[in-house]
A = this chain, B = another copy of it.
Amino acid sequence: MFFASDNTSPVHPKVMEAVVRANTGYAMPYGNDPIMDEVRAAIRDRFEAPEAAVYLTATGTSANCTALACLAPPWSTIFCHTNAHIEEDECGAPEFYTGGAKLTLVGGDDARMDANALDHAISHTGRGGVHNIQCGAVSLTSPTENGAVYSVAQIEEIALIAKRYDLPLHMDGARFANALVATNASPAEMTWKAGVDAVTLGGTKNGLMGVEAVILFDAKHAWEFELRRKRAGHLFSKHRYLSAQMQTYLDGDLWLEMARHANAMAARLKDGLMQLEGAELLHPVEANSVFARWPRAAHKRAHDAGAKYYLWPFAQPLDGDPEELLSARMVCSWCTTEDDVDQFLSTLTP
């Protein structure tokens, strides 16, 4: 009954086996290991992007922010949703990596940027010339921080706006695979065909130990990316262990299997929750997260039974009116079982 975050899950056994398998003999460091060649080929193949520059880092923050620093100069702003991870959960990493760019916050339901709001924000930025911060880049997250998924059409809509203002489009795909299986789109359709210029293909939240791929569809920033990654201390000497994870992730579509499972568990969880009297969904469940609220008494029972998940926002007291609805976030992962879900649901009813 552990729904705190997908980053609390273990590593998929196949991935761990690959890491162990990679632990033989010597290997050239810093991305020059032969497994990385396979990773590059696999990603270019899966994304139908033979010219793309492909890099690995070990954390989502470094993947997102190194890419963003290549796209948005220090005197510019990055348009993203108010609840984007780069805004809320990286302690100012975009500002650090870019050398002081801003983030301009765009609203929208379910943490999806509203296209009109984005258009309005961009069109009102930098109009005073040199006095104003300039437009830098657009960054969208799919699945969003609220568990919603951009459809390909929605990505295209955002991309169209970005292109109209000549801005590059970045995608934080910390849970990219979950979005992919939710939409049935191909990786290419979800990214460069829709107008995405750079994407973080997350692995850590979906069964890896700590690996994210950054894909730059236009390789013009490739060398700059390499320098920025090194300079930030994110170029790994024993890189083969990162490569091995990503290689296995993409092999035989393990990434999609794990994501599909996580999404299915979230759907099951949602369905069960909706049976609970007084329960309400806060956001549509389109990937592997469930945002809902239900009576405090049921929260208390789940808590007493050892269920782990976050009240969202954090600061809601578990003591108080038993009828009051408390909001929560629950995240499923590749290793959530049907039993976990069902057992959790059973704790809610007295």
Give chain A's interface residues, CB within 8 Å of chain B. 2, 4-5, 7-11, 13, 16, 19-20, 23-30, 57-63, 65, 73-76, 88-93, 95-103, 127-128, 130-134, 204-205, 209-210, 224, 226-228, 230-238, 241, 308, 313-315
Contact = CB atoms under 8 A, between A and B. Distances in A.
A215 to B, nearest CB: 18
B10 A16 contact: no
Contacts of A4: 26, 28
Given A8-B26, A10-B24, A133-B92, A232 B235 contact: no
A122 to B, nearest CB: 14
A231 B23 contact: no
Nearest to A58: B58
Nearest to A241: B209
B91 A75 contact: yes
A238 B315 CA distance: 25
B130 A90 contact: no
A228 B75 contact: yes
Contacts of A88: 128, 131-132
A153 B91 CA distance: 34
Contacts of A96: 74, 99-100, 231-232
Contacts of A28: 4, 8
B59 A74 contact: no
B232 A93 contact: yes
A76 B95 CA distance: 11
5 contacts: A19-B209, A59-B233, A60-B233, A91-B133, A127-B313
A182 to B, nearest CB: 22
A315 B16 CA distance: 40
